[in-house]
């Protein structure tokens, strides 16, 4: 908006819609002479020309004229008949901006406990405050578009994330912090990140006043993989060897199969479970794996004996007492007929 469109303006101030911005750039480069600049108690107005800060005005009402602000004398625009000053005007808010989010990928690291490589992410919230308006303008010009309301906050959030990345990776790699359980280290991560972020931001006139809700996470797949490996390692340590742990897993699987299965296959599962169980107990009590395997094979391969035949009744002749054949109709000794209902004795 040029000078001719600005003649009806009597005041220069931050509009209410921009009060939540760290930096507000006045839209006109030609600042009309004799207008009033209103600077709130938590603001500073910075005049910039040719990449240099020409002057800063403190909170209050100021007339835009060299008689009150001597540094404006070098900024008169001759093309307007000395009715305007040719410069950029920035309003810098100096109050604290709380609850600003940051987050993103940290790095891929090797977990000291499992030796697995996992991808970490970090996020949290921080509060930001301008402590040096001149340094903010001079150092960020050319790096950040100061006319963009969110540019400064976005850039500061990147610096906080970089500090968090350095802290977490240094501790995991250098101090052997296990990835599982990083939440227990949150206070130290926050304190170190706060210090690192302020070291990086100090030269830009910015300060992180508070840092909180910092969380370091990894993908669901990596988290599940780490938990499974940690569980297997713990079980192997308890069982005494990986082989014993594998036998225990097989035993549990067989037991679950018997609990949920049906039909003739249950007997085979039972035999397998007993064999594996013998191997596990043998590993604990001193029995060798070979004896356990032999017991399992014997239990599986032993033939099943056929059922015993019922006893055959013995018949005798009722006249002479001679033993008779089972199918005889006459006694071979005395020739007497054999009754069909002759009972066994």
Q: Sort strands 88-93 and 43-49 into parallel, antiparallel or unpaired.
A: antiparallel
For residue 182, tell me if it sits in a domain.
Answer: yes
Question: pTM, whole model, 2 decimals?
Answer: 0.64
pLDDT at 97: 96
- 47 and 120 inside one domain: no
CATH number at residue 123: 3.30.479.30
Q: Report how far residue 234's alpha carbon sits from residue 229's, in angstroms, rounded to the nearest whole number.
A: 9
β-strand 117-130 against 97-110: which pairing, if any?
antiparallel
Residue 80 lies in a domain: yes
Whether residues 249 and 286 share a domain: the answer is yes
In a domain, 234, yes or no: no
Are residues 159 and 54 part of one domain? no
Low-confidence ranges of the chain (pLDDT < 50): 1-8, 263-265, 269-274, 276-289, 292, 342-345
What's the number of domains the chain is made of?
A: 4
Contact at 8 Å (CB) between 87 and 29? yes
Q: What are phi and psi of 12, to 5 degrees?
A: -120, 120
Cα–Cα distance for residue pair 211/188, rounded to 1 Å: 12
Q: Which domain holds residue 285?
A: 240-297
Does 215 lie in the same domain as 158?
Answer: yes
Q: What is the pLDDT of residue 175?
A: 93
Query: Would you say residue 235 lies in a domain?
Result: no
If asked whether residues 108 and 179 sit together in one domain, one would say yes
Selection from 68, 64, 59 nearest residue 85 by Cα: 64
Q: Which residue, of 223, 257, 288, is where some domain finishes?
A: 223
Q: Does residue 207 lie in a domain region?
A: yes
Question: How many residues in total does the chain contain?
Answer: 345
Domain shared by 89 and 130, yes or no: no
Are 201 and 159 in contact by the 8 Å Cβ rule? The answer is yes
My answer on whether 162 and 185 are in the same domain is yes
CB 283 within 8 A of CB 289: yes
Does 195 share its domain with 287?
no
Is 58 within the bounds of a domain? Answer: yes
- pLDDT, residue 336, reads 73
Look at residue 264 in the predicted model and tell me its pLDDT: 47
Please report whether residue 251 resides in a domain: yes
Judge whether 281 lies within some domain.
yes
Assess whether 212 and 116 both reside in one domain: yes
192 and 86 together in one domain: no
The pLDDT score that the predictor gives to residue 259 is: 58
Two tokens at 248? 């225990």
Could you tell me if 36 and 10 are in contact, meaning their C-beta atoms sit under 8 angstroms apart?
Answer: yes
210 and 251, same domain (yes or no): no
The predicted pLDDT at position 147 comes to 85
- Of the residues 43, 72, 93, which one is the last residue of a structural domain? 93
CB 192 within 8 A of CB 214: no
Per-residue pLDDT at 65? 92
**CA distance readout (Å), 215 to 107, 114, 169, 179:** 14, 21, 14, 12
Residues 6+ apart with CB under 8 A from 286: none
- How far is residue 12's CA from residue 10's CA, in Å, rounded to a whole number? 7
* Residue ending a domain, choose from 93, 117, 150: 93
11 CA to centre of own chain: 52
208 and 130 share one domain: yes
């Amino acid at each position: 908006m040029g000078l001719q469109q600005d003649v009806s303006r009597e005041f220069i101030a931050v509009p209410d819609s921009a009060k939540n911005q760290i930096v507000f750039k006045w839209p006109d480069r030609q600042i009309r002479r004799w207008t009033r600049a209103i600077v709130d108690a938590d603001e500073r107005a910075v005049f910039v020309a040719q990449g240099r800060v020409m002057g800063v005005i403190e909170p209050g009402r100021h007339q835009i004229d060299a008689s009150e602000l001597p540094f404006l004398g070098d900024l008169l625009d001759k093309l307007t008949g000395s009715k305007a000053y040719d410069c950029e005007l920035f309003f810098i808010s100096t109050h604290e901006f709380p609850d600003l989010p940051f987050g993103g990928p940290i790095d891929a690291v090797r977990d000291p406990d499992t030796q697995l490589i996992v991808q970490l992410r970090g996020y949290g919230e921080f509060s930001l405050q301008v402590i040096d308006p001149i340094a903010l303008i001079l150092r960020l010009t050319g790096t950040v578009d100061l006319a963009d309301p969110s540019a400064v906050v976005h850039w500061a959030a990147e610096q906080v994330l970089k500090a968090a990345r350095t802290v977490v990776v240094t501790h995991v790699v250098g101090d052997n912090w296990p990835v599982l359980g990083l939440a227990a280290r949150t206070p130290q991560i926050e304190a170190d990140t706060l210090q690192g972020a302020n070291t990086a931001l100090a030269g830009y006139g910015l300060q992180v006043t508070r840092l909180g809700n910092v969380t370091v996470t990894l993908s669901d797949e990596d988290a599940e993989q780490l938990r499974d490996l940690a569980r297997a390692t713990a079980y192997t340590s308890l069982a005494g060897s990986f082989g014993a742990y594998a036998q225990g897993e097989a035993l549990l699987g067989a037991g679950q199969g018997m609990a949920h299965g049906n039909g003739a296959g249950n007997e085979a599962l039972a035999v397998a479970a007993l064999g594996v169980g013998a191997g596990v107990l043998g590993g604990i009590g001193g029995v060798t794996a070979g004896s356990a395997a032999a017991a399992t094979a014997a239990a599986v391969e032993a033939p099943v004996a056929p059922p015993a035949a019922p006893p055959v009744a013995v018949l005798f002749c009722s006249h002479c007492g001679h033993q008779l054949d089972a199918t005889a109709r006459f006694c071979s000794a005395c020739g007497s007929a054999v009754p069909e209902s002759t009972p066994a004795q």
